[in-house]
């Protein structure tokens, strides 16, 4: 599987499902509409001695070629809206109880991560700061506090299907729950200057033993 198509968070599959739903509706609609378009071009092609007609679209039998597809699009929209609201609520509105909280700081052009230490409390002396490497434990729910030190950034973890803007002066809270161990990309998804394209990091999703080992081996806390 393409690495970035891995579903590594608890909500990745529901976001993919929503995208698939939209793709199927739009895809089927596109194929049917194009098929009809070319069929009509062929059916009403120029023939010797036959004049073209000007259709106002006011007659019922003509108008239904617009109203019926329009109605079908609206029905599809209802399904898409219901799906979107459900996913939006799960990912953005609903904040499940956290097992741990981390701070993510974007700056031109690096990501700094503040991990809680053994006390599992953020902003205490045993916190660990890393640049470019985020360490999390699989099957634990994390809250993140996302901040920016300079300009707009966007914290994006493709395998989580997570993308959240970072805005200077604000601390934005979000959450994720990793479901698969491994090492994956973190990127900035908001143009933030000349180094935007190389503003990358890695997320290390570890099992409990690996994470405990990393925590104990990580360097002493530094305060940014």
Partner 1 sequence: MMARLRTVKRSVIALLVVGAAACDATPPPVGMERGEELFETCAPCHGDAAAGDPKIAAPAIAGLPQWYIQEQLAGFQGGFRGRHADDLPGLRMRPMAVTLNREGDIESVAEYVASLDPVFPASTLHGNAGAGANSYIVCVACHGADGLGNPDLHAPPIVQLDDWYLLAQLRNYKSGARGTAPADVWGTTMRVNTLAMDDQAMQNVIAYVQTLR
Residue 136, CA distances (Å) to 10, 28, 174, 183, 202 in order: 14, 40, 15, 10, 11
**Minimum distance of partner 1 from residue 107's CB (angstroms):** 6
* Binding-site member from 12, 105, 166, 203 for partner 1 (CB under 8 A): 105
* Binding-site member from 76, 83, 109, 172 for partner 1 (CB under 8 A): 109
* Binding-site member from 108, 141, 181, 218 for partner 1 (CB under 8 A): 108
Which secondary structure element, helix H or strand E, spans residue 175, and what is its range? strand 172-176
- The nearer residue to partner 1, 154 or 179, going by C-beta atoms, is 154
CA 204, 214, 175, 114 dihedral sign is negative
Tell me the three state secondary structure of residue 63.
Answer: helix
Which secondary structure element, helix H or strand E, spans residue 183, and what is its range? strand 182-188
Q: Does 169 bind partner 1 (CB under 8 A)?
A: no
**Minimum distance of partner 1 from residue 130's CB (angstroms):** 8
What mask of x and - would describe binding to partner 1 in positions 187 to 206, judged by CB under 8 A?
-------xx--xxx------
How buried is 159 (Cβ within 10 angstroms: 0-12 exposed, 13-18 middle, 19+ buried)? buried
Q: Does 35 bind partner 1 (CB under 8 A)?
A: no
Q: Which residues of this protein are in contact with partner 1, per CB under 8 A?
A: 105, 107-110, 112, 129, 131-132, 149, 194-195, 198-200, 222-224
């Amino acid at each position: 599987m393409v690495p970035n198509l891995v579903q590594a968070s608890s909500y990745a599959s529901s976001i993919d499902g929503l995208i698939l739903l939209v793709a199927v509706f739009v895809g089927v609609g596109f194929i049917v509409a194009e098929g009809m378009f070319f069929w009509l071009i062929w059916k009403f092609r120029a023939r010797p001695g036959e004049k073209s007609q000007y259709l106002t679209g006011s007659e019922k039998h003509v108008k239904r070629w617009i109203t019926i597809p329009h109605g079908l699009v609206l029905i599809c929209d209802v399904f898409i809206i219901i799906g979107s609201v459900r996913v939006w609520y799960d990912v953005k509105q609903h904040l499940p109880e956290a097992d741990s909280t981390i701070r993510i700081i974007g700056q031109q052009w690096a990501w700094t991560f503040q991990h809680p230490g053994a006390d599992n409390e953020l902003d205490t002396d045993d916190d660990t700061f890393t640049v470019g490497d985020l360490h999390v434990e699989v099957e634990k729910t994390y809250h993140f506090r996302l901040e920016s030190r300079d300009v707009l950034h966007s914290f994006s973890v493709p395998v989580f299907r997570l993308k959240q803007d970072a805005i200077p002066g604000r601390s934005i809270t979000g959450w994720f729950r990793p479901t698969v161990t491994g090492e994956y990309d973190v990127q900035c998804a908001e143009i933030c200057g000349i180094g935007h394209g190389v503003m990358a990091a890695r997320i290390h999703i570890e099992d409990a033993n690996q994470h405990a080992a990393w925590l104990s081996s990580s360097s002493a806390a530094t305060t940014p």
